[in-house]
Each structure stands twice: as structure tokens, then as C-alpha cells.
A and B are shown apart, each in its own frame.
Chain A
Amino acid sequence: MLDIQNLHATVEEKDILKGLTLKVNPGEVHAIMGPNGSGKSTLTNVIAGREGYEVKEGQLNFEGQDLTELSPEERARAGIFLAFQYPVEIPGVSNMEFLRASLEEVRAAQGKEPYDAVTLLRKTREACQQVDLDQAFLKRGVNEGFSGGEKKRNEIMQMLLLEPKLALLDETDSGLDIDALQVVAKGVNSLRSPDRAIVLVTHYQRLLDFIVPDFVHVLSNGRIVKTGGKELALELEEKGYGWITGEEA
């Protein structure tokens, strides 16, 4: 599904990803861990197509298609979803309005009928319930005045409605209290299916207790330096990154 080979990417002329290779198949859950500044958010942004993030070398394919040829909105319509580490506010644009517009575009691109008003309302309410957000949030501006945890849950709510093929979650767990963490994990798990893949960026093992990954990768200095199963996360929790990256912990 996602096939990244020897990827080199820059942000504002600065080399950040330096030969990253990662393969994600349908049905798999991958966790990406690694020290601050190692390039985890950069990787998710490169996949989602953020402006200013340039691929200089290597391959970035999604379902056999070269992603670098697609605009960010085309990637979204193709089924890629990025849950942001720092979700931004859009004052005055209600969550509902935003969801409606987004769903319309994404579903149309996938040859699906737009939801009628009643279905849309039902779906959005269900999604709210799933992430334990009050329905009042549908009327509020997108992330406007939301607490940190509410913003994260709002991202997951969008993901549940958009039903992406590939979900990239960038530190969705940070800033969540322990109950919210379980709620979010449940939401993500409900999306797990043989034809979907999930890439989780996280610093903490505890998320992986709830969303059990098939693979754990360590990203360091723009490259994946170690890959293992779920036990690798436990080992990292205990020992830090030093023993892998060659630096003192």
C-alpha cells in the first residue's frame, strides 16, 4: 500500500529525511518512535504533501502511484488521512460545515454518493459519541477554543467519518488523559480492517498497549534505524534510544 524507498526530503532546504525506507501493507499497524527532531512529523507531512516539504530522492508510492505527483487534496481523496500533532483552528467555520465539505469531496472522488442531511447528522453524532465529544462540538468552529485533548479527539472524529485507507496519526496520544487515551484507541481500533493501514507516531508505550502494532520502527536522524515487533517498544521504554542510535541516553 505505502511503499517508501530510500526517501530523501528537505524542509526549507534543510535535509531532514536521509534515505528512509518503509513498507506498509493493508491491514497492518506500524508504530514509529524516535527522539525529538528525528523527522517523524516530517515523514507524515511528506506523505500528506505539505507545501515546502520536498522529495529530493527516492520513491514515495501509494497503491502503486507516485505520491509526489499529487496535490495534498488529491492524496486525501485517494484515502490518506493525517491526524495532526498540533491541530490548527479555523474560527467561524463550524465543525459540521467542515465535515460536510470534506466528506463531499472525498466521497465524490471515491465514486460515493454524498450523505444526505439526515445521514450526515446521524453519522457525525455517532462519531462524536465514539470519541466522547459532546454534540455541541459539531456547531463550534473547527478546533476553535478546544482544549488540547479535545482537538486530538476531533481529529479522530474526522478520521472515523472519512474512513481512510491509510491513517497517519502524529502523536495523537500526547496531551490525552488516560480515559481519553482509551477512547481514542478504541476509535482507532474500530477502524482496523484488512484493507486499511495505520501509522502511529508516538513517544509512549502506553498507547501501544491499547493499539497493538504489528511493527515498531525507530526513526533517528532521518532514517529508520531499527525495526521490530511490539516488544521493541517495551525495550525502548526501558532503555531509551541511546543503545540504538549510538548516542548516550
Chain B
Amino acid sequence: MSPNAEINKLLESGYEAGFVTDIESDTLPPGLNEEVIRTISKRKNEPEWLLEWRLAAYRRWLEMDYPEWAHLDYPEVDFNKVSYFSAPKSMKDRPKSLDEVDPELLRTYEKLGIPLHEQEMLAGVQNPVAVDAVFDSVSVGTTFRKQLEEAGVIFCSISEAVHSHPELVKKYLGSVVPQGDNFYAALNSAVFSDGSFVYIPKGVRCPMELSTYFRINEQNTGQFERTLIIADEGSHVSYLEGCTAPMRDENQLHAAVVELVALPGANIKYSTVQNWYPGDEEGRGGIYNFVTKRGVCFDNAKISWTQVETGSAITWKYPSVILRGDNSIGEFYSVALTRHKQQADTGTKMIHLGKNTKSTIVSKGISASKSSNVYRGLVRIGPGAENARNFTQCDSMLIGDTCAAHTFPYIESRNPTAVIEHEATTSKVSEDQLFLCQSRGLDPEKAVSMIVNGFCKEVFQELPMEFAVEARALLEISLEGAVG
């Protein structure tokens, strides 16, 4: 059953009103200092080692410079105006009803066929009961949990894992993305609110696709989400992040960290559909998304990142794989669509350290109207990576002539046996293609969306079936009005 259908069923079945937290008291005043971090840690009842870990990250962060990138343009964020424990969001700042929500957003919901209740939830309307009905529901969460438990899979929030599986969290947290890795990773390490924790035991094939959508208390992960996935030897897992409906969020700044650990022979597939609010036509109110995603592969392990990015005002994101073990494999399949004044700077890093390591990168960038779409990729072959191979294919498609696409492939090879192939193309939706479609009865919008979908095919076929269908619908909607 699709997540939407599942939730519809739930909503129809009614809910028991009852539990509403005292939201105001859960929000810390804006500003960041050691006291704030101590408070966060205390509220979450964390062990001493984790507090120390957060504080160490904070101290590193203080010494770091605010990052600037050549191809992103945005006003500097005032970190003292951000509230670091603001989830659940203050109710009174939320729209009172859907009437107060950007009509454009509502139109999108309608096109995606999202029921009213769920629209309210996604748009953050003051409607805590509906939210609870979805996420605190015993039925959805627990049925899945039972099945997972039987397989020995741990899937819970990271705050929970800190208490229930401290040895795993302690061992792996920060092992792939160290606290001082970059400005936003350091900030996340200091103040992370919550996120997913997954552990797949040795030799286990996870019996279902794990989706953030079903995780209890999803809405509380806030702007500094932290995810840790550990696949033990020979295990398999497919993880889905996000959903196709645009999420509205009062927090403009999002800086998540995702760490994947693929132990020998393990296989992790991580798929994302990111569709956060991109702002209005001028980009006002859109989300800034600065994410650090990285995985490490031990011997014979494989990590595959697949992402479809259509949201956010600004996206800065490079899911990476460290191919540490021999014969390990890294893959990156990406579709990034920008329109209006959206800016996306995405790509990947493939770090080959082990022998016979292989990586594949397929990136599809689509830019429309006044947007800017940058691919930035690094393929690094270490001196010990005998017979490493990389294949990179990087295609850009332009719609109209006021948008921009840039490609920056960096290659650093320190081993002469490496084979690195790179292909790049830039194309336009041509008038000839449009006319062919029109003369077969398709209107220009449908034609463009079909042409773009065709362009993205290699990536979509990497997505789990249902996600792929949603991703296509999402592209279609995002492209509306892009022609003309």
C-alpha cells in the first residue's frame, strides 16, 4: 500500500484526541552557546559522552569560517537568530488554516492528489491532532516494527537508539562524517535534534523498504536531522527518505547529516525525493538545504545513492562514498531540477581507497526559468587503489534561455592503473522535439515533461518502483509553467 493510501485509511478511521504537548515550553530562545547545547542534551536525557561530543563539535564550529561558494548566492544566515530546539514548531506561528497558505503550494497538493487532512499537516497548519493521528498512530508504526523486530532490524529515532543501543551509536556516530568535517556538519553535530537510526544484523535482508515516512514522531526531527544507518556484514537494506509532497517548514535553514556504514559484503540503497518548499517565484520563503551525506564501504560492500531534488530555494549536497574496502562499489544517480530562482549545487564524491573499487555517477541536471544548476563531482583514486574504475555521466538540460547549468568534474588520480571515464552533455528541449510531440496531439507542457522524464530515465529506473512513479508525477508538476 502506498504511504498516501495508508495514511488516508488512518485518517478515515478517525482519531482519538487526547495528547497535546505543551509546545511553547519546549522551545528554546534563539541563539547558540554552550548553555543551549547543555539544555538540549539534558532535555533529551542524553548520556555524558554525547554531551561532550556535542560540545567538542560546537567548539570546532566556532573556529570555522562561514562557507562561501562561487555558484550559490544567498544572504548570510544569522545563527543567533535560529532557535536550536524549536521542534515541535511554535503553534501560533503556523498558518491557522489552508487559507493562509501559499495558493501555489495548495495547487501542487491538489495535483498530487493529497487529501485535505494531509495537506494541512504538510503545510504545517495549526492542527496538532491530525499530525498525531498520522505519526503517533499505534497501528502504522507498530505493525512495521513487529515485522522488523522479527528480522532483528533496529529502526528507531536516533534519540531512542542512544538509550537502547548506546554501544552502536557511540561506535559509529561521527565515524563517517567527523564532527569537524565542514561548517554545517559541525553545527549539526553540536545541535542535532533527531533523525533515524537503522541497524541491520549480519546476513539479514531487510524485509521491507524503510521509509522515514513511517517513523514515529517524524515531524519532530526539525532542521538539524541526523541519520545513521549501519548494515552489518552481508546484510541488505533499502531506505527511502522524504516524500513527493512539498513540505512547508518555518525553519529556513536545514543542515542534516546522514552517515552510512556498509560493513563487509553489505549493500545499502538510499533513495531520496526532496521536495521542500522552494519559495515563491522570487525564491522568498524557500528553504536552504545544506546536507552532508556520506557512506563508507568495507570489503565487497556497495552503497548506492539515488536522489531526485526539486525543492528548496538553495540546495547544497554531495552524497559521497568512501570505497575503503577492496572490491567495493559506489553509485550515485541524481536528478536535480531547478526553476524560478532556485539554486542547486549538488554532486558527489567517490573516494577510491581499496583495490578493484568501482564507482558510477549519473547526474541529470534540468534548469528552467532563472534558476542555476551546478554539478560538482570529485573522483579521487588513492595510491593503493589498484585497478579502480569510475564512470561518470553528467547531462544537463536547459529549458528556455535565462537559466544556467555548470559542470565541475574534479579528478585526482594517484594510481596509474585507474580507469576513469567521463561523459558530459548539455542539451535543450529542442523546438523540433516539441513540435513532434505537439503534432501528435500533446500539449507543450505534457511534451516537455515527457521529454524531461525521458532524459531522467536512467536515474528513475534506480528508484524503487512506487517512488519512481511519484517522482515522475512530481517532475511533471514542477515543470508546469516552465514552457512558453
Contacts and interface: CB of A to CB of B under 8 A. Distances in A.
Q: A and B from one assembly?
A: yes
Interface of A: 48-52, 71-73, 75-77, 81-82, 84, 87-93, 97-98, 101-102, 105-106, 109, 141-142, 158, 162
B435 A51 contact: yes
B436 interface: yes
B440 A90 contact: no
A112 to B, nearest CB: 12
A142 B431 CA distance: 16
A80 to B, nearest CB: 8
Contact of A90 (B438, B443, B446, B454): B454
Interface of B: 430-433, 435-444, 446, 450-451, 453-458
Nearest to B458: A92
B451 A93 contact: yes
Contact of B442 (A48, A51, A101): A101
Given A51-B435, A88-B430, A93-B451, A98 B440 contact: yes
Q: Which among A51, A52, A87 has the highest number of chain B CB atoms within 10 Å?
A: A51
A87 B441 CA distance: 16
A92 B455 contact: yes
Q: Which among B438, B444, B453 has the highest number of chain A CB atoms within 10 Å?
A: B438
Contact of A106 (B433, B441, B450): B441
A109 B454 contact: no
A73 B454 contact: no
B454 A92 contact: yes
A72 B438 contact: yes
B440 A106 contact: yes
Contact of B450 (A52, A73, A93, A158): A93
A50 B437 CA distance: 11
Contacts of A84: 436
Given A88-B432, A88-B433, A101-B446, A93 B453 contact: yes
Nearest to A52: B431
26 contacts: A50-B435, A52-B431, A71-B438, A71-B443, A73-B438, A73-B439, A73-B441, A75-B439, A76-B439, A82-B439, A87-B436, A88-B430, A88-B436, A90-B437, A90-B450, A91-B454, A92-B457, A92-B458, A93-B454, A101-B442, A102-B442, A105-B441, A105-B446, A106-B440, A142-B436, A162-B441
Contacts, number: 77
Given A76-B440, A98-B437, 6 more contacts: A71-B438, A82-B439, A84-B436, A89-B433, A92-B453, A105-B442
Contacts of A52: 431
B contact patch SS: helix
Contacts of A102: 437, 440-442
A87 to B, nearest CB: 7
A189 B439 CA distance: 22
A75 B443 CA distance: 11
A90 to B, nearest CB: 6
Nearest to A91: B454
Nearest to A93: B454
B441 A98 contact: no
Contacts of A91: 454-455
A76 B454 contact: no
Nearest to A50: B435
B153 to A, nearest CB: 36
A42 to B, nearest CB: 14
B450 to A, nearest CB: 6
A98 B453 CA distance: 12
Q: Which among A73, A88, A158 has the highest number of chain B CB atoms within 10 Å?
A: A73
Nearest to A78: B441
A73 B436 contact: no
Contacts of B457: 92
A148 to B, nearest CB: 16
Q: What 6 pairs between A and B have smallest CB-CB spacing?
A: A92-B454, A93-B454, A105-B441, A92-B457, A72-B438, A102-B440
Contacts of A97: 450
A98 B438 contact: no
A97 B447 CA distance: 12
A20 B353 CA distance: 71
A50 B435 CA distance: 7
A89 B451 CA distance: 10
B334 to A, nearest CB: 15
A46 to B, nearest CB: 12
Given A92-B457, A106-B441, A101 B450 contact: yes
A110 B430 CA distance: 28
B435 A162 contact: no
